[in-house]
Amino acid sequence: MENDEVLADVRIDVIDGPDDAGELLTVRRAAFVTEAQVYGDPNIPALTQTLEELELDLARANVVTLGAWIGPRLVGSIRVELEAERANLGRLAVVPDKQGMGIGTQLLMAVLEYLPDQTKEVWVFTGQDSKQNLAMYTKHGYEHQYDQHTGDLTYAYLRRILGDGG
């Protein structure tokens, strides 16, 4: 399948209940193994989160989780935490066999439709060595703001201003 055909078959929708939690956990773990290998750290949060923790997260009123499906298969997801005028993106994940086809970009752009009107800025962080992630975020209007060191890892924080300011 060509990338355009894949994208035409992708359906993006909210994951709002525990029914999809097990499949979502599997998708995230498959997607983040590559990231863990880059950093030599199998204990990154996306890989250590339990099913129970994920179900609690999905039930939070200030969290929106979007899924990308091709037919009945969940192939990607993104998590958005809402706080006042700010949205924090996280856990952008695409299954390994569908990476590089534009599904992550489609999820990143779809998030904007689910943000409350008062949202003025969107933040995301990724590992400083995750060059492909950094390039995707930059391409879509996110600007590097600062780095934060956590243990052996350094995270890059990027922001996109919405509306007239960006």
Domain boundaries, the chain: 3-165
pLDDT in tens, 105-141: 999 999 999 999 999 999 999 888 888 889 999 999 9
pTM: 0.88
Cα 138 from Cα 161, distance rounded (Å): 12
Reported as a single tens digit per residue, the pLDDT across 63-79 is 999 999 999 999 999 99
What is the DSSP secondary structure assignment for residue 95, as one 8-state letter?
Answer: -
* Residue-averaged pLDDT of the chain: 89
Q: What is the CATH number of domain 3-165?
A: 3.40.630.30
Higher-pLDDT residue of 7, 147: 147
Q: Is 61 helix (H, G, I), strand (E, B) or coil?
A: coil
Of residues 56 and 47, which shows the higher confidence score? Answer: 56
pLDDT of residue 66: 97
CB 155 within 8 A of CB 148: yes
